[in-house]
Amino acid sequence: MIEKELAQEISKKYGTVKRCRGPFLYTQKGERLTDLFQEKGRSILGWGKEGSSAFTILKNVLDRGITGSFETDFGLCSSKKCPSRLSKSCSELFASPRNAFIFNSKEKALKAALLLSKENTGVFRPWNCSEIDWRQTECIIFAPPLPWYENHWILAASTNIAGNPQELNSNLSAIKIPAPLEAAYTRSIYDLIKALQEREEKHWFIYDKVLTKYFTRKGPYLYPKVPEEKYNDFVIHCLNQKIIISPDYTNPSIVPFKADKGVFSSLQKNPFVF
């Protein structure tokens, strides 16, 4: 199943989504759905203000009207040598000096990273790969933790190999995005830094009694035990219990942070047989 098909199934069963907060989607028919898909991890901090202050920043910058093609304080600027605010946030996240570049696909970000460093490139996923020393990784690509529909990816390259970001931005085919969105991405990274210090195993294992029947859990990430040939049926079964899981067998679902354990009571009463 693809994301578009999942969206259609949600609308068919429960109507359109009218509001999102924390780990929940609220629909046109008055139903609350528990989100374990989380936009492939882009909403891992949560939906709306309960997840991140990034949308407050987005609104504030929008109100300032700086949405054009001109240079701003948020992105790369040809007239200054200091790093962008986005680069500063990536430097703090990975505890090493970084310059940040934005791409509109993971493939393009990875291609650019490999141009800079074939031997020392990695893909970062929060609360995963804890054994990797990201400070020593020259090129790191990751999806910004902001629940936004666009498929943007960030390349955080060490300043040792990406010391001239203005020149590299063009050579690597990076894209420019509106200042409000770049400001929101920057804030979401700072919110992620805070969450990395606060969230831990005790926040995830409390759902194991239900979820480990169907998933192998690694940190907050849930990898299916259900056979791949039955997985689409499992996605629909969970949706019938008002639970949204990843529609893609290869992409893990995610534990819903701070959701009451009762959200899985329907799945307990109506188990999926495989």
For residue 162, the model assigns a pLDDT of 78
Q: How far, in Å, are 174, 256, 266 from residue 107 at the CA level?
A: 12, 28, 39
Coil/strand/helix, residue 142: strand
State yes or no: pLDDT of 196 exceeds 90. Answer: yes
State yes or no: pLDDT of 235 exceeds 70. Answer: yes
For residue 89, the model assigns a pLDDT of 95
Coil/strand/helix, residue 153: strand
pLDDT, tens digit (0-9, with 9 covering 90-100), for 17-41: 999 999 999 999 999 999 999 999 9
> Can you say whether the dihedral through the CA atoms of 12, 14, 20, 21 is positive or negative?
negative
Predicted TM-score (pTM) of this structure: 0.91
For residue 234, the model assigns a pLDDT of 98
Average pLDDT over residues 186-206: 95
Q: How many other C-beta atoms are found inside a 10 Å radius of the C-beta of residue 92?
A: 13
Coil/strand/helix, residue 27: strand
Which one is predicted more confidently, 197 or 49? 197
For residue 209, the model assigns a pLDDT of 94
Select from 195, 215, 213 the least CA-distant residue to 255.
215
For residue 166, the model assigns a pLDDT of 66
**How many whole angstroms separate alpha carbon 162 and alpha carbon 72?**
21
Look at 20-24, 77-81, 131-135, 158-162 and tell me which has the smallest mean pLDDT. Answer: 77-81
State yes or no: pLDDT of 13 exceeds 90. Answer: yes
Distance of CA 216 to the CA centre of its chain: 20
pLDDT, tens digit (0-9, with 9 covering 90-100), for 49-70: 777 899 999 999 999 999 888 8
The whole-chain average pLDDT of the chain stands at: 92
State yes or no: pLDDT of 78 exceeds 60. Answer: no
pLDDT, tens digit (0-9, with 9 covering 90-100), for 247-259: 999 999 999 999 9
**What share of the chain has pLDDT > 90, as a percent?**
79
For residue 106, the model assigns a pLDDT of 94
